[in-house]
A and B are shown apart, each in its own frame.
Chain A
Amino acid sequence: MLLRPSAHDLKFIAHDLGRILAVVALAGLLPLGWALARREWAPASHVLVMIGFCILAAGAAQLIDPGRRTKVDWSHGLVVVALTWLVVPAVATIPLYLSGHYGSWIDSYFDAMSGVTTTGLAVIEDLDHLSDAANMWRHTIQFLGGQGIVLAALTFFSASGALSLYQAEGRDDRIFPSVGSTARFIWLVSIVHLIFGVTALTIDGVIGQGFTFDRSLFHALAVFMAAFDTGGFSPQSTSIAYYHSALYEVIIAVLMVAGAMSFGLHHAIWTKRRGLVRNLEVRTLAITMGITIVVTLIGLTAIYADPSGLVRRGLFQVVSAHTGTGFATVSSAELSRWSGLAFAGMAVAMALGGMSSSTAGGVKSLRIGLTVRALIDTVKAALLPEHTVMPANYTQYGRQRLDARLAQSVMTVSLLYVGLYLFGAAVGIANGYGLQESLFESVSAAAAVGLSVGVTSPAMPLIMKLTMIFQMWIGRLEFIAAFALAGFVWSTVAGE
């Protein structure tokens, strides 16, 4: 029997969403400040409209008195998170749509969803003439989404049920006993990388590329936010190829790798924890990254004859794909010519993704490692004599037990990702695109990567835009929160 949500439940959801909108208003101060500094008055007014809307909505939500929170269960956290990831892009759309660079509201919502989910696919028109402030907002929402919108809110507001909200956003790590301390550590890691990344990119921009300081700083900030949070938006339409700098690409690669690492791993490294080489997730990511690099490079020998071009283009694209970033140093047209093994290597790299509790998308290395481990255990069990007792353990910051329930949950989510990839590809094929390009674009959207072979464009059919918006949303939420929201909506209709 389904229980119909009470007015009390709805008030709490509105209350929590209001606090999250307050954080979006706060994030809007960065592009607003940039716009005022650069005297971009129209973009500044667009950002102000959004900030004003957020403050009004947040204020109205805080006026609702939900009463004393008696019990916070998992479903509440899941529903709030699922709604957050629908509502925030809708609000973040305001400055984007008002910029006049989008053909329709759906197009701007597509880019906002792509931003918060750190995907990086874009249907913006004439990106190269977008104002700096609007560009900064695109990258800010990627940073906000990558860090975790709810995590950002929990940094500023205490909430009972914080753990349920934190974990519902797809984070498994509890680095410290409290969510607040864990959130502070996540921000600390991000700030350290921000200082390193922005300084290094700015210096290379000024010295290596002849940018003025403020222009170099703008690009460095934007690229940092998209690289560390594995987003993939770029200030220019030619993505990272715009810079023509090998050093710039290496710095970005370091930031992409850092972004694909779980914050648990960052903490283990910072605190000199031993045994990281035996860590299942680290091993899995190293192995899959190695295999996809080899496969892609072999496939690319047909296109790039010289080894240096092969390494520079092939490696950057695979690292970008595997970390779920989506930066490119080749054009979409050139990427669409990567067929055979190169296509296979790239598609698999995108589908697998980075580490769990990182900013990357995809199935995630831990799930891949556990699936392979469970498969090996099953084969062993079939070959060994009956009644043989086998230990089913794996190493992940200490010895962990791989029981049947964990294996089942891991395989279910992995299978759902495969289904989501195939669903998007089927929609692409139904709309007249080829199998290879449909599959590439579908995996890119669902695994929050952002690489494109040219399918994603303002001219794309509406049904494809809606499908990819859905894929980005549900892929980022790792399914469970989205299912909880569907169950919540159904219970309001059919519950008793």
Chain B
Amino acid sequence: MLRGRITRGSFSGGARGLLIEIGAVLTLILFAAIIALAVTGLT
């Protein structure tokens, strides 16, 4: 039963995980860009 549950949920679960990880990296890039613009603008 456990193995079946993993297999059934694996496709959507894996896709969701990847989307969140890609989102996290894009957020980091946006965050770093804002910081970079702020510090280069100030200096």
Contacts and interface: CB of A to CB of B under 8 A. Distances in A.
B35 A269 contact: no
Contacts of B21: 254, 257-258, 261
B25 A272 contact: no
Contacts of B32: 293, 297, 311, 314-315
A305 B43 CA distance: 10
A185 B31 CA distance: 32
Contact of B36 (A270, A289, A297): A297
Interface in B1-43: 2-3, 6, 9-10, 13-14, 16-18, 20-22, 24-25, 28-29, 31-33, 35-37, 39-40, 43
A319 B37 contact: no
Q: Could you say which of A176, A269, A272 has the most chain B C-beta atoms within 10 Å of its C-beta?
A: A269
Contacts of A293: 28, 31-32, 35
A245 interface: no
A290 B31 contact: yes
A481 B36 CA distance: 43
Contacts, number: 84
B9 to A, nearest CB: 6
A196 interface: yes
A196 B29 CA distance: 20
Given A192-B10, A257-B25, A270 B17 contact: yes
A298 interface: yes
A269 B16 contact: yes
Interface in A261-293: 261, 266, 269-272, 289-290, 293
Contacts of B9: 270-271
A325 B42 CA distance: 32
A293 B29 CA distance: 10
A379 to B, nearest CB: 30
A170 to B, nearest CB: 22
Given A254-B22, A254-B25, A311-B32, A301 B16 contact: no
Nearest to B5: A271
B17 A266 contact: yes
A266 B14 CA distance: 9
A309 to B, nearest CB: 9
A270 B3 contact: no
A432 interface: no
A298 B9 CA distance: 43
A290 B24 CA distance: 12
Contact of B3 (A184, A261, A290, A298): A184
B13 A270 contact: yes
Given A185-B6, A301-B43, A289 B28 contact: yes
Contacts of B22: 254
Contacts of B40: 301, 305-307, 310
Given A310-B40, A319-B25, 7 more contacts: A184-B3, A185-B6, A188-B10, A254-B21, A270-B16, A310-B39, A315-B32
Interface of B: 2-3, 6, 9-10, 13-14, 16-18, 20-22, 24-25, 28-29, 31-33, 35-37, 39-40, 43
17 contacts: A176-B2, A181-B3, A185-B6, A253-B28, A254-B18, A254-B25, A257-B24, A271-B9, A271-B13, A297-B35, A301-B43, A305-B40, A307-B40, A308-B36, A310-B39, A310-B40, A314-B36
